Chains A and B, each alone.
Chain A
Amino acid sequence: MSSDAELIGRSLRGDTDAFVEVISRHETAIGNYLARRVGRQAAEDVLGDVWVAAYESRATYDRSYPEARPWLYGVALNRLRRYWRSEPAEEPAPDLAGVASDWDPWPAVDARVDTQALLRRALARLKPEEREVLGLVAWEDLTVAEAGRVLDIPAGTARRLLHQARKALREAPEVAALLQVPTT
């Protein structure tokens, strides 16, 4: 089976089917990645843009990497950045101040807490680059080095960001409490 890099090379020589094959291999992963970040509806809206952007920028692909998925995550992230910046906020948006101030962690946590909501609160306080590395590793099953490739940063930097993110999460009151109680 041809590698992604080989298929991209063929697409640069005019074989458009080769590029479609690359997309076919990774579309579910990229679709889910988009859905995790902007929700299903918006992901469906953006997905076509991602493929077009990838196609238009395929000449820049470093073909020393046989696997194109990290590159496609990077293309998708760039599209998301433009999407986030240009779109009106049509999703619910709680008051930022409230998120930061109304948490009284220890007495309130019990087995019935909404794990996801609490974790999201903690995630919201991470730096964007920390959150991105963490998401790529935890959700997309990328290695730290691959996450660095997505974000166009050195592997060592990605490793430091992941370390910071995990540390911040562990130390967040919500997460610390969740790690000490059984969740259902």
Chain B
Amino acid sequence: MDEMDLMKKLSDVPSPSPEAYNRARTALQTAMAEPAEPVGTVVRPKRWFSWPRATVAAVGVAAVAAAVVMATTGGSVPTGPATQAAPPVAPPVVESPLVKLASEVKAAATVQGDSSLVIGTKMPADLPSYTFYSVYTDKGQIFGGDSTKTLAASASKNDDQATPYHAKLMAAAREAANGDLEKARIAMITAAHNVTGLGLSPAEADKAWADAQAKIAEDFRKIGKPAPPARPRPEGKELENFRNNHLWSNATSALFLGAANADIRAGVLKLISTIPDTKVGTTEIDGQRALTISTGPDIQGGDASVVLTINADNGLPILQEIFPAPNSPTPSKPAKVTYKSSRVNLADVVAGKI
């Protein structure tokens, strides 16, 4: 026996189900019949629900994802008059460490380099660890790879992976850093879609929700599954949690793509500071002073709590941890991702000199 024989012992895994193959074929058939948005623009609110459990084919677009969210989260719907207006932003406390840090990030911004490089490392329990490189240029391009070599190849081929969704994320973060925080908050929450009608008139909000419900029903029908019953638009605290989930998910997505861009980083910190249910603590990690930003299951869809650890002096992300919610019937699995961020020159990325 040699190492290759040992390797083969790892080759047996549970295959995708026959239903999954059917769904994948349906996605292909749909794409062939009516070319839709580029796959890269499929965006869903992360951490709010288990995408596989939603059993929607990959043709689903953002609005569908949101509708699935509401179809799966359950819970009572508070009664009372609907309100479509944006709820007032919880004003960042003047002394909020995140707002203070955001100001320091802006003040300390340098012009070094022309791109942000973020290196993340995930390590699933049953699989090898995975390191991924993301470069976000100051011009808005996004290149990626799982090694400096594949990253260089992506950049040299100009394989720009930025989508309109990414552009919206980054614009919202910049607006938060340099402009109107309320406007930025709405833009970040609605970067993927606006099925809850944030900032819309009551009639427009009703239509947005109804359209999303109709779309998800259509997509379920396409894959031969019964459509879930339409749900009323969330209200009250459920609506607030829903929107804060989107704010957290989209803002942290921006951070993990463009952390070494001072505007992006400062804007994300200010945006996160507007989520009332986050808790900021202090810690030390690898000799660095750090802040922990904790969000509970209410913001994370019920199945997990998330703690983001950032450097207390420069705001750069260090660690993201996901903890299963003890009271959830379907708790998320624990997870950990480490991040290292730096300013780089795109030319050096292309040359493999990072």
Chain A interface residues (CB < 8 Å from chain B): 16, 19-20, 23, 27-28, 31-32, 34-53, 55-56, 81-82, 84-96, 99, 115-116, 119-120, 123-124, 126-129, 131, 134-135, 137-139, 152, 166, 169-170, 175, 178-179
Are B16 and A44 in touch, CB under 8 angstroms?
Answer: yes
Residues of A with C-beta under 8 A to B337: 88-89, 93
Are A84 and B132 in touch, CB under 8 angstroms?
Answer: yes
Within 8 A of A (CB), among B1-58: 1-4, 6-11, 13-17, 20-21, 23-29, 31-33, 35, 38-40, 42, 46-47, 50-52, 57-58
Are B127 and A39 in touch, CB under 8 angstroms?
Answer: yes
Residues of B with C-beta under 8 A to A135: 7
Distance in angstroms between the alpha carbons of A32 and B20 in the assembled complex: 12
| Given known A119-B10, A169-B3, contact A49–B39 (CB-CB < 8 A) | yes
Shortest beta-carbon distance from B156 to chain A in Å: 12
Are B28 and A48 in touch, CB under 8 angstroms?
Answer: yes
| Given known A41-B52, A179-B1, contact A49–B132 (CB-CB < 8 A) | no
| Given known A44-B52, A47-B21, A89-B122, contact A55–B6 (CB-CB < 8 A) | no
Shortest beta-carbon distance from A123 to chain B in Å: 5
Contact of A179 among B2, B31, B127 (CB under 8 A): B2
Are A81 and B146 in touch, CB under 8 angstroms?
Answer: yes
Q: A84-B130, A87-B46, A124-B129 are in contact. List 8 more A-B contacts (CB 8 A).
A: A40-B16, A44-B23, A47-B21, A48-B24, A91-B126, A92-B124, A93-B334, A169-B6
Residues of B with C-beta under 8 A to A87: 46
Could you write out 28 A-B pairs with CB less than 8 Å apart?
A28-B15, A35-B16, A37-B127, A40-B17, A48-B26, A50-B24, A52-B28, A53-B39, A81-B132, A84-B130, A88-B322, A88-B337, A89-B122, A89-B124, A89-B320, A89-B337, A91-B126, A93-B335, A93-B337, A96-B129, A96-B338, A119-B6, A119-B7, A131-B128, A139-B7, A139-B10, A166-B4, A170-B3
| Given known A41-B52, A52-B28, A88-B47, contact A82–B146 (CB-CB < 8 A) | no
Query: How many residues on chain B are close to A (CB under 8 Å)?
Result: 72
Distance in angstroms between the alpha carbons of A96 and B129 in the assembled complex: 8
B225 located at the interface, meaning its Cβ lies under 8 Å from any Cβ of chain A in the complex: no
Distance in angstroms between the alpha carbons of A126 and B3 in the assembled complex: 14
| Given known A44-B23, A52-B27, contact A94–B123 (CB-CB < 8 A) | yes
Chain B interface residues (CB < 8 Å from chain A): 1-4, 6-11, 13-17, 20-21, 23-29, 31-33, 35, 38-40, 42, 46-47, 50-52, 57-59, 120-132, 134, 144-147, 149-150, 153, 161, 253, 320, 322, 332-338
Are B123 and A99 in touch, CB under 8 angstroms?
Answer: yes
Are B335 and A32 in touch, CB under 8 angstroms?
Answer: no
Distance in angstroms between the alpha carbons of A81 and B120 in the assembled complex: 12
- From B118, which residue of chain A is reached at the shortest CB distance? A85
Are B334 and A92 in touch, CB under 8 angstroms?
Answer: yes
Contact of A45 among B2, B51, B127, B150 (CB under 8 A): B51
Are B27 and A49 in touch, CB under 8 angstroms?
Answer: yes
Contact of A39 among B10, B40, B126, B128 (CB under 8 A): B126
Distance in angstroms between the alpha carbons of A37 and B145 in the assembled complex: 16
Distance in angstroms between the alpha carbons of A87 and B281 in the assembled complex: 26
Distance in angstroms between the alpha carbons of A45 and B332 in the assembled complex: 17
Residues of A with C-beta under 8 A to B33: 16
Contact of A23 among B9, B28, B51, B58 (CB under 8 A): B28
Distance in angstroms between the alpha carbons of A139 and B9 in the assembled complex: 9
Residues of A with C-beta under 8 A to B40: 82
Residues of A with C-beta under 8 A to B14: 35, 40
Shortest beta-carbon distance from B339 to chain A in Å: 11
Residues of A with C-beta under 8 A to B130: 84, 128
Residues of A with C-beta under 8 A to B253: 86
Are B150 and A93 in touch, CB under 8 angstroms?
Answer: no
| Given known A90-B332, A99-B123, A166-B4, contact A129–B24 (CB-CB < 8 A) | no
Are A43 and B322 in touch, CB under 8 angstroms?
Answer: no
Are A129 and B149 in touch, CB under 8 angstroms?
Answer: yes
Distance in angstroms between the alpha carbons of A23 and B14 in the assembled complex: 20
Residues of A with C-beta under 8 A to B120: 85
Contact of B134 among A45, A85, A116, A119 (CB under 8 A): A85
- From A178, which residue of chain B is reached at the shortest CB distance? B6
Distance in angstroms between the alpha carbons of A36 and B10 in the assembled complex: 8
- From B130, which residue of chain A is reached at the shortest CB distance? A84
Distance in angstroms between the alpha carbons of A32 and B35 in the assembled complex: 27
Are A92 and B333 in touch, CB under 8 angstroms?
Answer: yes
- From B20, which residue of chain A is reached at the shortest CB distance? A44
Distance in angstroms between the alpha carbons of A44 and B18 in the assembled complex: 10
Distance in angstroms between the alpha carbons of A181 and B285 in the assembled complex: 40
Residues of B with C-beta under 8 A to A31: 15-16, 20-21, 24
